[in-house]
Structure formats: structure tokens, C-alpha cells
Chain A
Amino acid sequence: MRGVKTGVPGGAQLRAIDVGERLWAIAEDVPASDYDEAALARGLQDLEWVGSRAVAHQRVIDQFLGADALLPMQLFTLFTSDDRVVEYVRADRTRIKRILKRVERKVEWGLRLTWDEKAVRAKVEARHSNPKGSRRLSKSGPDLPGPRSGSAYLSRKRDLLDVNRARLTEARAEATRVYKAMSRTAVAAQRRTGMERAAPGSRLLLDAAFLVSRPRTQAFRAAVRKHARELRGSGVSLALTGPWPAYNFIT
């Protein structure tokens, strides 16, 4: 445990509790006054308070990402003694072993595709602005090339709408294609469809988590880069995060 940073604010030195059969629980002592029911109830109203503790928790987890298998605990998993930790693990060992086996030598990567409506809109605007390039004054604002007449205005509006609809449909299909292709490089994949469809106007095309075996990491990242290249200029932007512990694959 040398060189391992401390955990949450107010916490003591991190230590490993031997829970048997080559399993260890990483823990730290915290003052009850800062983390008892009342303190948690108060703290949980405050995203800043939760956020700083979540970051601290994540930092500890990150230091053990290289372990053979790692199960991240939920934030504020509190026990009244070391013995209680051992008891809990013992009672649930079969399930814990099953999950450990699933995530052994694997990490999670998050992939998010978003729709950049502005980029598409800018293209259409450019086509409808004065072809000679001389910008005219407009009531709608100094930096907008204003439409010459009512019909030009309507035609521009219609065009914008059409292009947006068509491109968005294309982009959604593209996101599904990327998800399927990336799934083949991963051990398991999960698409968080609920979040993607949270709002009809959502710009989120894909929010997915992939469980990737460590030896396949390079191949996985190369595949992401390939998709990023293909998507360049299409109005779809791509963001990869990780490596994370297998948050989405431990249930």
C-alpha cells in the first residue's frame, strides 16, 4: 500500500483488509461525525460535497486499475468495523466471485457520439448567404447574413429543417453502425438507450460502455480512431473516456 494516496476528505491512511481467498478490500477509517447518517443526509443535498468525495473515491480506484480484477464499491459504502467487511464479503462470496471472473483483466471504456447541429446549420447558412460574398446589414444581428426577401427567408428555413432532419437520421444510423462495430472488438457492450432518448432534441447519438480485455486495448483504441477519422466533417463528434473499472458490467 506504499505510495497510495489517501482517500476521501477526513479519511485516514488507506489500508487493505484481507477478506480471504486472495481478495482484499481497500478501506480507510473516517470520523463518524463526518460520515454518519446525519452528515450524509446533509452532504447529499450538496453536489459539491458529493462531487469532491466522488473524485477522491475515483482516485483510489484508479490506483488499483492494474489489479487482476477490481470491483469498485459504491460511493459511501460504510462499515462499522473491519470484521463487518469480512462478514459481508463472506456472505456474498459466490456472487462476488462470479462478478470478479467476468471483469478479470478487463477495463471499461466509455464512448459517446454527439450531434453537432451548429456545424450542419453553418453549412446551410453559408449556402444561402449572398453567393457574391458581400455581406449585407440585417436586423437579425450583425454577424448573420440576413435573407433578402420573405420567400428567401422561408426557403432558407425549410432547407435548414430538411437538412437537419435528414442529417440527424443519417447520424443516428451511423451511431448504431459504430456501436455494432465497436461491440465486436469488446467482450461486452452496453448502450444506454434511455439517456440517448431522454429528450427529443437530444444531441446525444450514442452513449455506450464497452468491456475490453487488456490485451485488446490497443486494437480497441485503434478501432475508435478509425471511426473518428471516418466521422470527421459529418457533424458527429466522438469522445472516448477511460479506462474505467467495469462500472456497467458488475450487476
Chain B
Amino acid sequence: MSPRRRVRTRTQAEEIIGTEDASLLDVVDNLLSKGVVLNGDLTLALANVDLVYARLSLLLSAADRVLPGEQRDFLERHEARHAKRERLRGAPGHRRRSRA
């Protein structure tokens, strides 16, 4: 796991996908949650995306962001935060539009 080796060999995101689970999660995270350039004819339904995204955030946290044993606590905090954000915005985040 020497950082030098990692820096040198990683020229393709594909390699990263193949070698590290956390990076697969990064890929999903990027593709689901980052800026939307074009809205399609069929835009992801809000409720569904939130569902999968909530689980994804948990996995991301479990992968390398949270100390062992903190996961349950984290889940509770995550859900509380999520609920609060929804209340504040009236609609969930992630820059997504609901179907009319």
C-alpha cells in the first residue's frame, strides 16, 4: 500500500475500480450525486435515489471513514441529518428533479 506505487500505477479509473472496493463506491457516488449537466427525459425518481444513496453513504463510511463500532451510531446520525435536510429544503438534495 505504498502511496508511491499507487500513484504510479493508477492511470485509469478502471484500474482503481478493479483494485479497491472504496473506489467502486466513489464511482457510484460521483455518478449519482455530482453535478447534473443535462436532465434526461426520464429523470431518476427522488425517493428511489435517496434510498440507494442513503445506503451508499453508509457503505462509504463503513469502508474507511468511521471507526469500527461507530457504524450503528453513524446510521442514526445519518438518518437524523437526512430527515432534517429534507424538512429544510422541502425536497431532498443531490440536485435532482422529480418527475412532473
Q: Which residues of A contact B (CB under 8 A)?
A: 35-37, 40-41, 44-47, 50-51, 54-55, 57-59, 61-62, 71-80, 84-85, 88-89, 92, 96, 99, 110, 112, 114, 117, 195, 198-199, 201-204, 221, 224-225, 228-229, 237-244, 247-248, 250-251
Report whether A57 and B73 are in contact in the complex, using a CB–CB cutoff of 8 Å: no
- What is the 8 Å Cβ interface bit string for chain B, positions 58-100, against chain A (1 contact, 0 not)? 0111001111001001100110000000000000000100010
Interface residues on B, range: 35 or more
- Output the least CB separation between B82 and chain A (Å): 12
The reply to whether A199 and B66 contact each other, CB–CB distance below 8 Å, is: yes
Instruction: Return the chain A residue nearest B94 by Cβ.
Output: A74
Specify which of B4, B37, B66 lies most central, judged by the most chain A CB atoms within 10 Å of its CB. Answer: B37
A247's partner among B11, B35, B67 (CB-CB below 8 A) is B35
Whether A198 contacts B74 by the Cβ 8 Å rule is: yes
Closest to B50 in A: A44
What are 24 pairs between A and B in contact, CB < 8 Å?
A46-B52, A54-B24, A54-B27, A58-B27, A59-B14, A61-B13, A73-B38, A74-B32, A78-B42, A79-B40, A79-B41, A99-B37, A110-B26, A198-B66, A199-B65, A203-B65, A225-B7, A237-B3, A238-B3, A241-B23, A247-B34, A250-B35, A251-B34, A251-B35
Near A by CB (< 8 A), chain B positions 10-44 give 10-14, 16-17, 23-24, 26-28, 30-32, 34-42, 44
Assuming the contacts A114-B64, A198-B61, A241-B16, asked whether A51 and B28 have C-beta atoms less than 8 A apart, the reply is yes
In the complex, A152→B6 CA distance in Å? 42
A115 nearest in chain B by CB position? B67
Cβ-defined contact, A221 with B7, below 8 A: yes
Task: Among A45, A58, A198, point to the contact of B14 (Cβ < 8 A).
Answer: A58
Task: For the A-B complex with A77-B38, A204-B65 known, give 17 more contacts whose Cβ atoms are closer than 8 Å.
Answer: A36-B42, A45-B48, A47-B52, A54-B31, A62-B13, A72-B30, A72-B37, A73-B37, A80-B41, A228-B7, A238-B3, A240-B3, A240-B7, A242-B10, A243-B11, A247-B35, A248-B35
Q: Name A75's closest neighbour in chain B (CB-CB).
A: B31
Q: In the complex, which residues of chain A have a beta carbon less than 8 angstroms from the beta carbon of B31? A: 54, 57-58, 72, 74-75
Residues of B within 8 A of A221 (CB): 7
> Which residues of B have CB within 8 Å of A59?
14
From the candidates B24, B48, B78, name the one contacting A44 in the complex (CB within 8 A).
B48
Question: B66 CB to closest chain A CB, in angstroms?
Answer: 5
The answer for the CA separation of A74 and B37 in the assembled complex, in Å, is: 8
| Residues of chain A within 8 A of B14, CB atoms compared | 58-59, 62
A93 to chain B, nearest CB (A): 11
